[in-house]
Structure 1
Amino acid sequence: MVFSLKDILRIEVAPALGCTEPVAVALAAAAAASLIDERPFESIEVWVDPNIYKNGMAVTIPGSNNLSGLDKAAALGAFGGDPKLGLEVLDSVSEQALDQVVQFCLDPSVPIHLLENIRGICVRVRITAGGRQAEAEIRDFHDQIVRLSLDGKNLETHPLLFHVHQNKEPDRAKVEEWIKGLTLDELLALVDELDDEDRKFLKEGVDVNMRLADHGLKYGPGLGIGRAFERLIRQNLIRQDMVLAARMLASAAADARMAGVNLPAMSSAGSGNHGLTATLPIWAVKDYVSASEDVVIEALALSHMITAYIKAYTGRLSAICGCSVAAGAGAAAGVAYLLGGTTLHIAGAITNLIEDLAGVICDGAKPGCALKLATAAGTAVHSALFALQGVRVQATDGITGVSPEKTMQNIGTLSREGMIETDRTILKIMIEKKFTAKK
């Protein structure tokens, strides 16, 4: 089956309000809550895979007055979320709902169960009220609701279920399998399919992400990395160039997003931070070169496609920082394209980036992600510039393959097969730290 660039954009690029792991929990809770008219809720119970657990431990939930944790995310979804909004489920949360969440999470608590042996995205939420019991389950993709049940009976035709409306959009799993079979030349050829609707959508995505970056630069939330860069420039301690501009925009946007600022991100491959990394370095570099807006938009499209390609091999969540390796490689490819690079240059940019950042781990979503996005953005630009100067890591080096496709596939093998125990160890350290802090 053959798909198109428009299909890739439809399933891989979407607005998301807040970190997509707690948002997935909120979405499942909102979906379950929508099945029950009875109030008040007697209990909310959550089961999640290790990576959802890891990424939901420390990040601030947007519009929540600095609440964090999967228990709060579940309660926010149940009390105030609108499941019809998908990954923007929390956009409907009111002050009244916030008050209910704070009280509910004190007594009774919302237990979070770790599904230790589950691989891939899995979220299950069970809500009890008035003697009735509703359940929702999300699998594989952050917003893919695969099961809804009320009082033990599965609701096979409910409109929130993915399979009910999947005929209206391309099958995600099939699109991912199709992407995995493409060559870099074929991915580049897809850029020619961009129509006016696609270009408008990609530009709107940058605008969405730039609002986060502007907020981060103005107010310095989170770690304030983006604003610190700007301050260092003003103090003449560092000088701004395209590399620093890319680092500043990406980190400022991550500062805002990880601090729970109530602004959406245009995500890529299921992650808002991936979306920031895939787009903002390209947007920063455009101010230093002579390129038309059409070329800039084409570079953005290529970046999203390379990000999707790598994530199709690594899986949505893993021990490897996808912002660094997947979206970073996408940005490197996009920057090389923007600078007039050939297929050979673009391949070199991807390979250079992966050789540099393949070892960056994912230790959950938190304010410190801004540091990793700063590194990924800067390295993406450097990787493209090096490639244009003929610098390209050879296939004899490490996990580098004989082609850019093989190099990207090797990252998938490393992630899916080689980093499983690493992922468990990362989570073990994080859980031990969490419980030690409570004592």
Structure 2
Amino acid sequence: MQYTVRDVLSMEVAPALGCTEPIAVALAAASATDLLPSREITSINVVVDPNIFKNGMGVAIPAAHHGKGLDLAAAMGALAGNASARLEVLRDVDEAAFEQARRLVAQGMVQLTHRSERGLYVNVEVESKNGDRARAVIQGRHDAIVLRELNGQLVESAEQTAQSSNTTSGEDMRMWLTQRSITDLIGLLDGLEQQDYDFLRKGVNMNLALSRYGLEHKCGLGVGRTLERLTERGMIVRDAITEAQILAAAAADARLAGAPLPAMSSAGSGTQGLGAVLIIWAVRKRLGTFDEQWALRATALSHLVTSSLKGRIGRLSAMCGCAIASGAGAAAGITHMMGGNAEAVSGAIKNVTADLAGVICDGAKASCALKLASAARCAVQAALFALEGVVAGENDGIVCAAAEDTMDALGRLSNEGMPATDRVILDIMCTKECNKL
């Protein structure tokens, strides 16, 4: 089957309020609770795959006053989540609902476990006071509800059928995308129409708003604000690289601190979306007045490359997606925006791989802003180097002669080489949590 750029954007790029791992849990909880005749909840049982568990341990949840934890996300989703809002499921949570959710967790009414499960998996069962039990399962994508049950009976719905169909289509599309060459991906951009440009512009504005929020408020580690202060004091120069670091890191500071603003995500991650979009727009700001539509075209290419690489390394893995995937996507987009051909775009992707391939994912948390700042530095440098003909070669480690083979090598590294790394990361994180108790 032949897919279009719009197909990829519609399946891979979407607004997300909060880190998508706790949000997926909140969405499953909200979807299950919607089936209950009575919403007087007595217990919630959450089972997730290890990577959802890892990514939900240290990241703040929107409307939770810096509160963290998949158990709290599940309680908030069950009590006040809007399942029809998908990855913005918690947008209507108010103070009273948060306090009620916090009490549910404090009273031990929310149980959370993780189990070995290949790929993204969330299973939430909610029980009400009258004994009814409802269950919802998310699998494959953060918003793909593939099963709903009430008292053990399957509940069919047009929406669920559509979601299951979309999940299958999404998997097929991602497989198709990984088989496209860089030239093919650039060629897809010729299919962009006005409504696609409008959608891409919406994503840019959304992510720029998060960046402004991060610069105007004390959020997380304050990586973006600190970089900006250092430029004002003359400690570092505000060039294209620093501009990209400031914009991207400030947005990550805000998002990972639970700011009440959505991000336009890319390939299932809001932080990846920040990198895929903002790094390009920072370069546009500092290096020249590139036409807006051409910059939006470059942003679309960034999303395509990010999704193609995530299709290889996995939706969730031990490899940091906001560094390597959105870093490669942004580098490709910058190179294209600045007039680079397919060979230069490929070179930029190989340069990012040579630089950042070893960056691990140790869960979503405030310090991801540091990794996104590193990705911004790398992406801009990789693109500028490629445009100057400076490209990592096939004798450089896992870098191969072709960008497509290099991305395949990253996929093999992630899927064959890093599962044990993932287990060790989670063990270290869990041991730390146990020692705090």
Give 1:171 shift. Answer: 1.3
CA distance in 2: counterparts of 1:164 and 1:286, whole angstroms: 39
Q: Corresponding residue for 1:119?
A: 118
2:38 aligned residue: 38
Q: Secondary structure at the match of 1:111?
A: strand
> Are residue 240 (structure 1) and residue 228 (structure 2) matched?
no
- Structure 1, residues 390-433: CA drift from partner, whole Å, max 9, x if none? 10111111111220000011111111110000000000000000
Task: Look up the match of 2:424.
Answer: 425
Where do residues 188-267 of structure 1 align in structure 2 (5 Å cutoff)?
188-267=186-265
Contact map agreement 1:242 1:284 (CA 8 A) in 2: yes
Unpaired segments ≥5 residues, structure 1? none
Contact 1:20-1:271 within 8 A present in 2 as well = yes
AA matched with 2:150: L
Please say if residues 209 and 280 of structure 1, whose CA atoms lie closer than 8 Å, have aligned partners that are also in contact: yes
Q: Is the 8 A contact 1:66 1:260 kept in 2?
A: yes
* 1:160 Cα deviation after fit: 4.2
Contact 2:63 2:98 in 1 (8 A): no
How far apart are 1:95 and its partner, in Å? 1.9
CA contact (8 A) 1:215 1:253 kept: yes
Alignment of 1:4-19 (within 5 A): 4-19=4-19
Q: What is the Cα deviation at residue 146 of structure 1?
A: 0.6
Q: Distance in 2 between matches of 1:342 and 1:194?
A: 18
Contact 2:33 2:39 in 1 (8 A): no
2:174 counterpart residue number: 176
Match of 2:23 in 1: 23
Aligned partner letter, 1:37 = P
Q: What is the Cα deviation at residue 337 of structure 1? A: 0.9
Residue 180 of structure 1 deviates from its aligned partner by 1.4
Give yes or no for the alignment of 1:273 onto 2:271: yes
Per-residue displacement from partner, 1:364-407 (whole Å, max 9, x unpaired)? 00000000000001110000011111101111111112200000
What is the CA-CA distance between 1:218 and the residue it aligns to?
Answer: 1.2
Asked whether the equivalents of residues 322 and 372 of structure 2 are also in contact (C-alpha less than 8 Å), the reply is yes
Q: Deviations over 1:31-89 (max 9, x none)?
A: 01100021421110100000000000010001112211000000000000011110000
Show the counterpart of 2:366.
367
Instruction: Confirm or deny that 1:55 pairs with 2:44.
Output: no
Instruction: Within 5 Å, give how 1:86-101 maps onto structure 2.
Output: 86-101=86-101
CA distance in 1, matches of 2:180, 2:384: 25
Decide whether aligned partners of structure 1 residues 169 and 124 sit closer, same or farther in structure 2, where only a CA change above 3 A counts: closer
Distance (Å, rounded) in 2 between the aligned partners of 1:169 and 1:153: 22
Distance between the aligned counterparts of 2:112 and 2:232, measured in 1? 46
CA distance in 2, matches of 1:356, 1:413: 17
Superposed CA deviations along residues 86-133 of structure 1, whole A, max 9, x for unmatched, are 000001212221121111111133111111x21210000011111111
Range with bigger deviation, 208-217 or 164-173: 164-173
The alignment-based identity, stated in percent, is: 46
- Tell me how far 1:294 sits from its aligned partner: 1.4
The alpha-carbon deviation at position 169 of structure 1 amounts to 9.4
Q: Is the 8 A contact 1:220 1:252 kept in 2?
A: no
| Letter matched to residue 257 of structure 1 | R
Q: Which secondary structure does the structure 1 equivalent of 2:44 belong to? A: strand
Q: Which amino acid aligns with 1:97?
A: A
In 1, Cα distance between equivalents of 2:164 and 2:315:
20
Residue identity in the other structure for 1:260: G
The DSSP-based 3-state class of the residue aligned with 2:14 is strand
TM-score w.r.t. length of structure 1: 0.97
SS at match of 1:65: coil
Whether the 8 Å CA contact 1:55–1:364 is kept in 2: the answer is yes
Superposed, which structure 2 residues align to 1:315-394 within 5 Å? 315-394=314-393
Whether the 8 Å contact between 1:84 and 1:160 is mirrored in structure 2 is no
The alpha-carbon distance between structure 1 residues 398 and 125, as it changes in their structure 2 partners (threshold 3 A), is same
The 8 Å contact of residues 123 and 137 in structure 1, kept in 2 or not, is answered as yes
CA distance in 2, matches of 1:373, 1:382: 14
Deviation string for 1:145-185 (max 9, x for gaps)? 01100001111x22442x33566898111111110111110
Which string of whole-angstrom CA distances, capped at 9 and with x for unpartnered residues, describes residues 300-326 of structure 1?
000000000001111100000011111
5+ long unaligned stretches in structure 2: none
- Paired residues, what number? 435
- Partners of 2:355 and 2:109 lie apart in 1 by 44
Give the aligned residue type for 1:432. T
SS in 2 for 1:113: strand
Cα distance in 1 for residues equivalent to 2:109 and 2:37: 21
Distance 1:286 1:170 in 2: 37
One-letter amino acid of the structure 2 residue matched with residue 57 of structure 1: M
Distance in 1 (CA, whole Å) between partners of 2:141 and 2:279 is: 26
Indicate the SS of the match to 1:76: helix
Structure 1 residues 282 and 184 mapped into 2: Cα distance closer, same or farther (>3 Å)?
same
Q: Matches of 1:39 and 1:252 in 2, distance apart?
A: 38
1:305-324 to 2 correspondences below 5 Å: 305-324=304-323
Name the structure 1 match of 2:135: 135
126-135 or 164-173, larger mean C-alpha shift:
164-173
* Residues 213-222 or 369-378, more deviating: 213-222
Q: Which secondary structure does the structure 2 equivalent of 1:91 belong to?
A: coil
Q: CA RMSD in A?
A: 1.2
Report the TM-score when normalising by structure 2.
0.98
Looking at structure 2, the residues matched to 168 and 48 of structure 1 have their Cα atoms a distance apart, in angstroms, of 21
Structure 1: how far apart are the matches of 2:28 and 2:165? 22
Q: Which residue of 2 aligns with 1:302?
A: 301
Structure 1 segment 405-424 matched on structure 2, within 5 A: 405-424=404-423
